[in-house]
A and B are shown apart, each in its own frame.
Chain A
Amino acid sequence: DTAVSQTPKYLVTQMGNDKSIKCEQNLGHDTMYWYKQDSKKFLKIMFSYNNKELIINETVPNRFSPKSPDKAHLNLHINSLELGDSAVYFCASSLWTDTNTEAFFGQGTRLTVV
């Protein structure tokens, strides 16, 4: 029944490694997002995909690359991880209609770079 699921929930890795976080939604939504929540709890949009096309790409290092194989999935790949990448990453999805728009969030992936 999970609406938006992210894996893994926790990820500890060394600097310089490459890692991926997966996100899947079973809500039939057409828009998916990645947010980064820093240690001060500030949530910042990173990417937004609509119907598998990138529509928002905030100022994010190009080490971060989103991949959307279909409307239900939006994965985040990170190359050459740095200490500053440590954060909680949230995936979300929404369906943009005339009368309703609401984002559903996954439980988050806590990434720790050591």
Chain B
Amino acid sequence: AQSVTQPDIHITVSEGASLELRCNYSYGATPYLFWYVQSPGQGLQLLLKYFSGDTLVQGIKGFEAEFKRSQSSFNLRKPSVHWSDAAEYFCAVGARFEDDMRFGAGTRLTVKP
């Protein structure tokens, strides 16, 4: 069965600094990979997704993620963080037809002024 690991529970960065959130997955076939963001008291919003093709995926709000099959990773990046990016970020892996999405435990991002 697939699984997702987000090694960092909490990350703090200064506004304007770059950001990288780590995600490692375990899956027997080509995974479908997602990053979701959850702002306080809100639902989940999709930032970006990878199915196939170009391994560098662009998402909303200036985020991007890179799929590295050799490392089983799908790390999320942003060159310059804004205070409004403070939220919980979830990596998820899914499969076609017969299975559901599995989420990581989440990484809480705090942005310092």
Chain A contact residues, CB within 8 Å of chain B = 33, 35, 40-45, 48, 55-56, 90, 92, 96, 98-108
Residue of A nearest to B90 (CB): A43
- Bound: A100/B34 CA distance, A: 12
Contact size class for B?
Answer: 20 to 34
Closest Cβ–Cβ distance, residue B82 to chain A (whole Å): 21
Closest Cβ–Cβ distance, residue B5 to chain A (whole Å): 12
Q: Which one, A55, A98, A101, A105, contacts B43 given CB within 8 A?
A: A105
Inter-chain residue pair count (beta carbon < 8 A): 52
Q: Which one, A40, A48, A90, contacts B44 given CB within 8 A?
A: A90
B43-A108 in contact (CB<8A): yes
Chain B contact residues, CB within 8 Å of chain A = 32, 34, 36, 38, 42-46, 49, 51, 88, 90, 94, 96-103, 105-106, 108
- Bound: A106/B38 CA distance, A: 12
B105-A40 in contact (CB<8A): yes
B96-A45 in contact (CB<8A): no
Q: A43-B106, A99-B51, A101-B32 are in contact. List 13 more A-B contacts (CB 8 A).
A: A41-B106, A45-B100, A48-B100, A90-B44, A92-B44, A96-B96, A98-B96, A101-B51, A102-B34, A103-B34, A103-B46, A107-B42, A108-B43
Listed A/B pairs (18) with beta-carbon separation below 8 Å: A41-B106, A42-B105, A45-B100, A48-B100, A56-B100, A90-B44, A92-B44, A96-B96, A98-B96, A101-B51, A101-B96, A103-B34, A103-B94, A103-B101, A105-B36, A106-B43, A107-B43, A108-B42
A45-B106 in contact (CB<8A): no
- Bound: A33/B92 CA distance, A: 14
Closest Cβ–Cβ distance, residue B13 to chain A (whole Å): 19
Closest Cβ–Cβ distance, residue A60 to chain B (whole Å): 13
